[in-house]
Amino acid sequence: MKPFKQKQLSKEGQRRDLRFSRSLFALCLLSCTFARSYAQQSRLEGVVRNATNRQPLERVSIRETATKLNVATDLSGRFSLPVEGNKVRLLLTAIGYVSKDTIVTVGNKPIEFLLKEDNTKLDEVIIVGYGQMKKASVTGAIAQMSGDELKTAPTANLSSMLQGRLPGLVTRQSSGQPGSDGASLMVRGYNTLGNNSPLIIVDGIEREFPQINPDEVEAISVLKDASAAIYGVRGANGVILITTKKGKQQKPTLNYKGSYALSKNTAFPEFLNAADYVKYYNKAQELDGVAETSRRFNVDEIERITHGDPQGIFGNTDWFNMLFKSSAPTVTNNLTLNGGSDRYRYFVSTGAFNQDGIIDRTSYDRYNGRINFDADILDNLKLSLNIAYRDDIRKEPGLSAGLGNSYASVFAQAMMSYPFLPAYNAAGIPVGSLNPGNGNQNPIAARDLSGENSIRSNRFQSNLSLEYEVPGVSGLRLKVNGAFDKGYTMRKAYLLPYQLDVYNNATRQYALAFARHANGGVASLNQWFTDSWQKTIQPSISYANKFGAHSVNALFLYEYMRTDNSSLSGGRRGYPITDIMDLNFGEEVIDNLVKGGHGMFSRAGYSFRLNYDYADKYLLEVLGRYDGSPMLPAHTRWDIFPAVSAGWRISKEPFFKEALDVVDDLKIRGSIGKLGNDRIGDYQFLRTMSLGADPVVLIGNTLGKPLNVTTVPNFDIKWETSTTYNGGLEATLWKGLLGVEADVFYRVTKDILQGQSNLNPPSFGGYFPNYINSGIVDSRGFELVLSHRNTIGDFNYKVRGNVSFARSKVIETTENANVPDYLRRTGRPIGLKYGFVADGFFQSEEEIMSSALFGPTRVGEIKLKDLNGDGRITFDQDWTVIGKSDLPEMMFGLNLGGSYKGFDFSAFFQGAARSDVALSGLYTNSGIYDNTFYTMPFYQDGNSPKYLVENAWTPENTNAKYPRLSTQSAQSGGKFSSFWIKDGAYLRLKTAQIGYTLPASWLNKAKIQQVRCFVSGSNLVTWSSLPYLDPEMPSVNQGYYPQQRVYEFGLSLTF
């Protein structure tokens, strides 16, 4: 590169800087000083590159020792520094690189600096509670990932992008519906019998898990052990800290990233077609002993269904094929601007995310905006302002498309529709299947004609903090951080009536009828509005100083938070015209949908932290919180949650260096602490009454509402406390070729807040406190991370694997002494599945005669074990543990990444083990035990997956995979049995990506700094024991929105 050109470019860049600065000025009236640092006399020009692959390095900080001036490199690794004299001493530092302290001579040629990668990553900054810390000094168990890692996955819901990446974080994504496809998150598995959700902190403030553009995320860290004690009563289930990006000291850099993705179902079973349906249905009836004349399909009908019906009554419809599109598009557009001077830095981001579902009329659209601004107002006064805004809207048909458990959902209707009917009659009216007991079905009409259910939410989040360095006392700072968040949600649901030409199996007749939900053919609308606002204030004092080898760091912080909300709803029915569905146009107000209310919640606490280290070698941390909870009565409301941890960097000891020089760094650490959990319903310690929402009686001609006793109070309720112990080791060996991080933990939770209805006989009528402090749970486990990175010539690669394991055990719970041992929850992990033990199929009448039975039983049905040997199969006596929890005990992730010249690639394998899925049994949302479409042929008189009937037991196929082919539901209790428990272990190629960065020389003319295009995918391959269903599907369901496999094509441009 010619020096002349270089210089010209640099000036060009400066002019651009000014333009950008000015446009920003208009935006935030703060930019008058942006360009100030570019005023210059004599300058040192330089470029910083990676020592191994010569790639330019951005964000390298260059400090001139004499003048204490600081600059940073831009995306092409260049910097420019005003200097005096011709010899200067520079200190170059960059995260992930070994710092360089060098003296250079100022000439007219730009100087090239080479930085070596620091594979020890010791200077990486770790986000901790109310602050941050160098990784080398951390003594708690904290897992962290950078936002950059998210870029290797197709854009999706942030929570589902975390799966397998953070050791200790247990995840499960059970739906693929746009807007509802987040993963549930838990830290180190089950911790309590109650609420196990971790605390979510976004930019230092308790907030919901953010639906944000992953490009805004700087880092995500998880506090897994006693380090969460700084969050006191909210810390027991672990804390997930999310921080957003900040502006950098660099010229304004604009990045555009756009992508187009297509998604498909990961797994969905094939259902019966018309010919197979009639064949298997009649066969089932034959086996059920139904006389030929009484069977549902006669010979003529079978013929017409199988070979085409000239009368046009029958058809052959694949309802699922009509329900699912072949693929669904997602379009992502993001624009970020990042820059700043030595005094002001800004990060501005806007993004749009538009996702269509695999089922038409399901969608999720999100628009994000964010401005993070930092200013050094005075030398000792810093201001930081974050403003973020989000608007998202989720839509689905009026009859829900989500979990099929809900009444008349699109999925439930697809499962219950008959494949032997046409989709439309000759007049074009949708055909309905009349399903005895469940009404008429047509999933396509339900999807397209039933109306719409939309949820639109807006969130405004802001933080303002001022930090003041007290003059005269080195290291003493006062800070106040305030946050104000505001959100509203508008939900609008309308149901439209539509007509179906309904086929009645019993009478073999078609008749026009309204769809099952549209009683009387009346359209109705219900609209809800909720408004919420949250205020947080966090004043704090901190002190940091070094006295020789003694280093001290202290923080004392007060936090007060108040959340308010109010809500309003209304409804009308009877719409003469349904083209525009608004409350205005309905004819009749639905009185009991006119509602409104409010709520408030506040909490406060005093957090503290003290860090001490001696010579970077002996590390000690004491932290905690004196915390209050409004959930508790005054005399148990406040308590202290302390924690202590210590670390020893053995590798810093002289004897160690001599003995083991392959070890670059080795730290062992341990922690112990007490944490709390107060997640119970409000007012459990007060005697309260509630007024029922709806009338319950007509006295005279006046409707009367009831005044109910709300709960029986527990006046002495207190919080659950967890004591957690953690031991850890961090090491890097062979100059960073191998990195090891290992943690083992033990945690015991006492005074668990739980209901006691299991303990008290029903004859008490519920007259006892809802919650009592009872029960003990412990959990133990480990996490192990091994990483390796290396460079061979132009080829850079890294491998990072992690395994985490967590197992809980109930030590004590509200369990009656009379419960037999094999049914007990005490002594066992949380979340186990209970039921009968299956023992193959009955193969003969003699076998049935000589066996214990649950009820009337036929050959080919599931045989159950008589555990107590009383000759009968009974619910109370013959149930035992038949399966593990849905939540896996073990999670693993393997990250492979590398680059070669302009190419980069990554692949991420993610898996889980030691969990089970129940195909039938207890519907967790309704508490009812039953079969499902996946376990019983013609369940609810609907369609069946092909595998279930093809491999069913018949007299000709006694060595079958599935029980007897039948149309009757009484299956001898087999639906509650271990037969339907499947191993939930799986391994996925979760994401993979290949990117190509165009050579810089091609782009210079276009004034573009960087162009990268990429192809990526998620859920590409899955290995599991469930060949027809996704292993993360919800246990026991009547159909659910399948998880999606995504292919994404994208482009990133940096100016």
Partner 1 sequence: MKLIYKYSILALTVMLSFQSCSIEPELTDVYDERVAWSGEANVELSLNKFYPLIGQSYYSAHVNQDAYADLLKKNTPNDEVNLLILGSSTITPGANPLDNWSWGYTWIRHCNEFLDGLQTKGVGLPTEFYQRAEGEVLFFRAYVYFELAKRYGASVILYDGLNDGVGRPLSKPDEVWNFIAADLDKAAAQLPATVPAAKRGKITKGAALGLKARAMLYAKRWKASSDAVASLQALNLYDLYPDYRALFNQRRSEGAENKESILEFGFLAPNFTYSFDYFFGPPLDGGYAQISPTENLVKEYQMADGTDFSWNNPVHAANPYQGREPRFYASILYNGATWKGRTLETVVGSKEGYAVGGGTTSTGYYMRKLFDEKLTDLGRGELTFYFMRYAEVLLIQAEAMAEQGQLSAGLEALNKVRRRAGFTRDLTATNTGQLLSLIRRERMVELAFEGHRFWDLRRWGLATSVLNGTHATGVKITKGTSGNLTYELVDVDNGRSRVYPEKYNRFPIPIAELQRNPNIEQFNEWK
If you compute the radius of gyration of the chain from its CA atoms, what whole number of angstroms results? 32
| Shortest Å, Cβ 877 to partner 1 | 9
Q: Are 719 and 217 in contact (CB under 8 A)?
A: no
**Helix H or strand E segment including 1003:** helix 1000-1003
- Least distance from C-beta 629 to partner 1, angstroms? 8
Q: Which residues of 490-502 are buried (b: 16+ CB within 10 A; e: fewer)?
A: ebbbbbbbbbbbb
DSSP class of 162 = T
β-strand pairing of 1044-1054 with 952-953: unpaired
Least distance to partner 1, CB of residue 1, Å: 53
Cβ distance 353 to 366 under 8 Å?
A: yes
With CA atoms as reference, report the closest residue to 777 among 727, 821, 819, 811.
Answer: 811
Query: Which is closer to partner 1, CB of 103 or CB of 506?
Result: 506
**Does residue 338 contact residue 24 with C-beta atoms inside 8 Å?**
no
Q: In the bound complex, what is the minimum distance in angstroms from residue 941's beta carbon to partner 1?
A: 8
In whole angstroms, the minimum distance from the beta carbon of 195 to partner 1 comes to: 18
The least CB distance from residue 523 to partner 1, in Å, is 13
Angle at 566 between CA 560 and CA 568, to 5 degrees: 170
Q: How far is the CB of 473 from partner 1 (least distance, A)?
A: 5
| Pairwise CA distance, residues 254 & 251, whole Å | 10
Residue 472 or 871 having the CB closest to partner 1? 472
Specify the pairing of strand 772-773 against strand 753-754: antiparallel
Beta carbon nearer to partner 1, 624 or 670: 624
Least Cβ distance, residue 971 to partner 1 (angstroms)? 10
211 or 857, CB closer to partner 1?
857
Report the greatest alpha carbon distance in the chain. 108
Rounded least distance, CB 278 to partner 1, Å: 15
Pick between residue 329 and residue 692 the one whose CB is nearest to partner 1: 692
Other beta carbons within 10 Å of 821: 8
Query: In the complex with partner 1, which residue's Cβ is closer, 476 or 744?
Result: 476
Place of tokens 């640092």: 37
Report, in Å, the least distance between residue 831 CB and partner 1. Answer: 22
CB of 249 to partner 1, least distance (A): 30
Amino acid letter, residue 81: L
Minimum distance from residue 167 beta carbon to partner 1 (Å): 35
Q: What whole-number distance in Å separates Cα of residue 458 and Cα of residue 275?
A: 50
Name the minimum Å distance from CB 479 to partner 1: 10
Q: How many residues does the chain have?
A: 1055
Residues in CB range of 849: below 8 A, 6 or more apart: none
CB nearer to partner 1: pick between 308 and 596: 596
Q: Which is nearer to partner 1, 537 or 960 (CB)?
A: 537
Q: How far is the CB of 514 from partner 1 (least distance, A)?
A: 7
Taking the complex as a whole, the smallest distance from the CB of residue 591 to partner 1 amounts, in Å, to 5
Cβ proximity to partner 1: between 601 and 1002 the closer is 601
Nearer to partner 1, 848 or 994 (CB): 848
**Encoded tokens for 873:** 């199969």
**DSSP secondary structure letter of residue 56:** B
Report DSSP letters for 581-636, one per residue: --GGG-SEE-GGG-EEEEEEEEEEEEEEEEEEEETTTEEEEEEEEEEE-TTS-GGG
Measuring CA to CA, which residue among 797, 616, 657, 784 is closest to residue 117?
797
Distance CA(745)–CA(225), nearest Å, equals: 8
Which class for 446: exposed (0-12), middle (13-18), buried (19 or more C-beta within 10 A)? buried
CB burial readout 118-153, b (16+ within 10 A) else e: bbbbbbbbbbbbbbebebbbbbbbbbbbbbebbbbb
Choose between 95 and 712: whose C-beta lies nearer to partner 1: 712
Closer CB to partner 1, 657 or 872, in the complex: 872
Residue 865 CB, nearest distance to partner 1 (Å)? 17
- Closest to partner 1 by CB, 548 or 855: 855
What one-letter code names the amino acid at 79? F
Specify the DSSP element, H or E, that contains 18.
Answer: helix 3-28
Q: Give the C-alpha distances (Å, rounded to integers) separating 707 from 47, 686, 710, 771, 984.
A: 76, 16, 9, 22, 46
- Are 439 and 413 within 8 A, CB to CB? no
Q: Which amino acid is at 167?
A: P
For partner 1, the closer CB: 389 or 556: 556
Structure tokens at 967: 């149309």
Which of 1007, 771, 1034 minimizes the C-alpha distance to 75?
Answer: 1007
By beta-carbon proximity to partner 1, the closer residue of 517 and 669 is 517
Q: Give the residue with the Cβ less far from partner 1, 740 or 759.
A: 759
Q: Measuring CA to CA, which residue among 986, 798, 982 is closest to residue 891?
A: 986
Residue 936: Cβ within 10 Å count: 25
Cβ at position 681, least distance to partner 1 in Å: 10
Residue closer to partner 1, measured from CB, 91 or 552: 552
